[in-house]
Amino acid sequence: MNGWQTLLYKEVLRFYKVSFQTVAAPVLTAVLYMLIFGHVLQDHVKVYDKVSYTAFLVPGLVMMSVLQNSFANSASSLVQSKIMGSLVFLLLTPLSHWAWFTAYVGSSIARGLAVGLGVFAVTAFFGQPSFEAPLWIIVFAVLGAGLMGSLGVIAGLWADKFDQMAAFQNFIIMPMTFLSGVFYSIHSLPAFWQQVSHLNPFFYMIDGFRYGFFGVSDVSPWLSLAIVGTAFLVVSSIAVHLLRIGYKIRS
């Protein structure tokens, strides 16, 4: 294996070795959401025609888990390496900034998709969504995981301790994912809050992903793809630039 493949293998192995915490725990959390929201709101919330609320929840919970765990993977790895002092060993290698980016974001995509598959395998027993456009499911899952993995790189480089990373996750990532239409269609919101939802890039990731299951969505999947793709390019460009200049890792 060459340099970036070795680092990618190391990062995948890092979360695989503690898969009970990194994969099983998020799956359990998603199941609890399904049990609570599905049971309470099943007969009270109407979303799309011929789509039960429980089935509607499945793609949202899957994508929410993908996004949150993709971010957590790269962010926690970098912060942990900085605090423990092991990051210096990577700095001694001839790895380029592109190798770092590929390894950290690639492992984040792997963890996000692993958690997403686990969540889907369990929650699908409660509501069985169809697969109207499987290609859209794959595209949005990979793009979303890559976007959040890149954002995790930025957060991991910026944070000097776990408290700062937790603040980033609790005050930015969590609110934006919960307010992105995971548990509801934005058409059920007042007009003002519908417009606010359109400013949230997480909404387009989840709405486009849900389109792949049901063939219907709150906005055009092409619009969602354009916004998510642009966001991925912008965020990944920033992450690559920070890695290139050694932001907060070479001083």
Of 11 and 52, which is predicted with more confidence?
11
Instruction: Report the range out of 165-169, 195-199, 220-224 with the highest average pLDDT.
Output: 220-224
Q: Higher pLDDT residue, 225 or 43?
A: 225
CA 134 – CA 215 distance, rounded (Å) = 10
- Percent of the chain clearing pLDDT 70 (strictly above): 95
The pLDDT of residue 15 is above 90? yes
Q: Confirm if 4 and 98 have CB atoms less than 8 A apart.
A: yes
Q: pLDDT tier at 154 (50, 70, 90 boundaries)?
A: very high
**Domain positions in the chain:** 3-245
pLDDT average, residue stretch 192-218: 91
User: Using H for helix, E for strand and C for coil, what is the string for 231-247?
Assistant: HHHHHHHHHHHHHHHCC
b/e for 44-79, b at 16 or more Cβ within 10 A? ebebbeebbbbbbbbbbbbbbbbbbbbbbbbbbbbb
pLDDT band at 102 (very low <50, low <70, confident <90, very high): very high
Could you please report the per-residue DSSP string of 64-133? HHHHHHHHHHHHHHHHHHHHHTTHHHHHTS---HHHHHHHHHHHHHHHHHHHHHHHHHHHTTTS----S-
Task: Determine the average pLDDT of the residues in 113-142.
Answer: 90
The pTM of this model reads: 0.92
| pLDDT the model gives residue 217 | 87
Mean pLDDT of all residues in 119-132: 84
Locate tokens 């999947």: which residue?
221
